[in-house]
């Protein structure tokens, strides 16, 4: 999706060289690499502008990127944010209503109120996948490498992670589920992996375990909007059973594959307190086998300078067989969260 005026000429020369079974000259190779890097950066920039799904209301993204680039990112943008949005550019309108996306020409909103922008975008963006022009457009993928990841910002991490193929979990999962919250958070919570609802909604901790976590966090005096919530593994691991997807525990290679994402996320956030929810997250953060009952409820100095605190994953509480056990363990869980929050006060 380069805008270089010589791009078609360079591609023609490349095809001609390959047709004649000749080696591609180094100078031509370098020029093509520059085009690829330029396109990669433009696609990343567009993705970084897309808000996450924490606010379910319509979001309007105004950009100067070309129609060709926007068209190539339609699938990716709807995976990044499953809830409704509009991308507005000088020569393209792209609308996603949560179910399907539609293309149309660009328009100038002239500071219209959001409701009128949405209505106008609906009128302009009428071409869908049934239109032959857009039906064959291949998405431009970023194919992140550990080197790309290590130098990323939080927005760039999320934008690249949607294309992560570092382990086999990316194939059956709907999408990569990145962390969310306050980028200036002093405390972060790390769980195991997205569940069924997280995979569908593109947000961490929004299913039954997430709802229990929110309740316990409020009871402990915390505010989710002030925290950062993430997982050690960014794809949902499951086995299909009839019309359900049954959670499966990530194995060691899958946890290791996700290490660059989590390590960079923690480095960029630089929290004072890291709350580790469950054995998978504890193994990922501490780099060793962990028994939660032995490590629980005590401060652990971490290599990044933060204080770690291990506790159970909220899904453990949902699996307890009787109300007495659930009440007892829920109280202990709230106390752990309260301890983590109070650590910030010194």
CA distance 298 to 84: 42
Say what the pLDDT of residue 36 is. 82
Say what the pLDDT of residue 16 is. 82
- Scored b (16 or more CB within 10 A) or e, 204-239 reads bbbbebbebbbebbeebebebeebbbbbbbbbbbbe
- Scored b (16 or more CB within 10 A) or e, 134-145 reads eeeeeebbbebe
Say what the pLDDT of residue 130 is. 80
Q: What is the pLDDT of residues 241-265, one digit of tens each?
A: 989 999 999 999 999 999 999 999 9
- 228-231/238-241 β-pairing: unpaired
User: DSSP 3-state helix, strand, coil percentages of the chain (rounded to 5)?
Assistant: 45, 15, 40
Say what the pLDDT of residue 152 is. 95
Q: Mean pLDDT score of the chain, rounded to an integer? A: 92
162 close to 79: Cβ distance less than 8 angstroms = yes
The set of residues, in sequence order, having a beta carbon less than 8 Å from that of 346 and lying 6+ positions away, is none
pLDDT bin (cut points 50, 70, 90) of residue 346 is: low
CA distance 346 to 342: 7
CA distance 332 to 312: 9
The yes-or-no verdict on residue 89 having pLDDT over 80 is: yes
Q: Cite the beta strand spans of the chain per DSSP E.
A: 59-62, 85-89, 92-96, 101-104, 180-181, 187-191, 228-231, 238-241, 244-247, 273-277, 300-301, 307-311
232 close to 281: Cβ distance less than 8 angstroms = yes
255 close to 169: Cβ distance less than 8 angstroms = no
The yes-or-no verdict on residue 290 having pLDDT over 90 is: yes
The yes-or-no verdict on residue 132 having pLDDT over 80 is: no
Scan for tokens 């000259």, then name that residue.
25
Say what the pLDDT of residue 32 is. 77
CA distance 305 to 281: 18
pLDDT bin (cut points 50, 70, 90) of residue 1 is: low
- Report the pLDDT averaged over residues 146-169: 94
Beta bridge partners of 276: 190, 310
The yes-or-no verdict on residue 225 having pLDDT over 90 is: yes
Two tokens, residue 198:
């997280």
The yes-or-no verdict on residue 229 having pLDDT over 80 is: yes
Say what the pLDDT of residue 20 is. 79
Q: What is the pLDDT of residues 99-121, one digit of tens each?
A: 999 999 998 877 889 999 999 99
The yes-or-no verdict on residue 137 having pLDDT over 80 is: no
pLDDT bin (cut points 50, 70, 90) of residue 79 is: very high
Say what the pLDDT of residue 111 is. 80
E strand or H helix at 304, and its extent?
none
């Amino acid at each position: 999706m380069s805008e270089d005026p010589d791009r078609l000429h360079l591609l023609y020369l490349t095809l001609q060289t390959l047709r004649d079974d000749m080696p591609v000259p180094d100078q031509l190779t370098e020029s093509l690499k520059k085009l690829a890097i330029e396109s990669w950066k433009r696609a990343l920039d567009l993705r970084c502008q897309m808000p996450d799904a924490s606010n379910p209301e319509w979001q309007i993204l105004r950009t100067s990127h070309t129609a060709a680039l926007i068209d190539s990112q339609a699938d990716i943008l709807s995976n990044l944010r499953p809830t409704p949005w509009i991308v507005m550019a000088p020569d393209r309108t792209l609308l996603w209503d949560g179910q399907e996306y539609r293309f149309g020409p660009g328009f100038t909103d002239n500071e219209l109120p959001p409701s009128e922008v949405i209505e106008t975008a609906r009128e302009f963006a009428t071409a869908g996948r049934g239109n032959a022009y857009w039906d064959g457009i291949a998405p431009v993928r970023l194919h992140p490498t550990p080197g790309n990841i290590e130098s990323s910002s939080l927005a760039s991490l999320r934008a690249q992670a949607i294309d992560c193929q570092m382990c086999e979990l990316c194939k059956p999962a709907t999408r990569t589920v990145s962390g969310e919250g306050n980028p200036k958070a002093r405390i972060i919570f790390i769980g195991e992996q997205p569940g069924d609802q997280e995979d569908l909604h593109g947000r961490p901790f929004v299913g039954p375990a997430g709802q229990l976590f929110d309740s316990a966090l409020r009871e402990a005096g915390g505010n989710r909007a002030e925290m950062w919530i993430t997982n050690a593994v960014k794809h949902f691991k499951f086995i299909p059973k009839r019309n359900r997807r049954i959670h499966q525990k990530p194995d060691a290679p899958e946890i290791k594959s996700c290490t660059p994402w989590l390590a960079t996320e923690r480095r960029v956030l630089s929290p004072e307190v890291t709350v580790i929810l469950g054995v998978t997250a504890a193994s990922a953060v501490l780099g060793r086998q962990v028994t939660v009952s032995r490590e629980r409820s005590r401060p652990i100095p971490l290599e990044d300078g933060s204080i770690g605190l291990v506790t159970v994953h909220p899904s453990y509480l949902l699996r307890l067989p009787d109300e007495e056990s659930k009440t007892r363990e829920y109280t202990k869980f709230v106390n752990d969260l309260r301890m983590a929050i109070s650590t910030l006060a010194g």
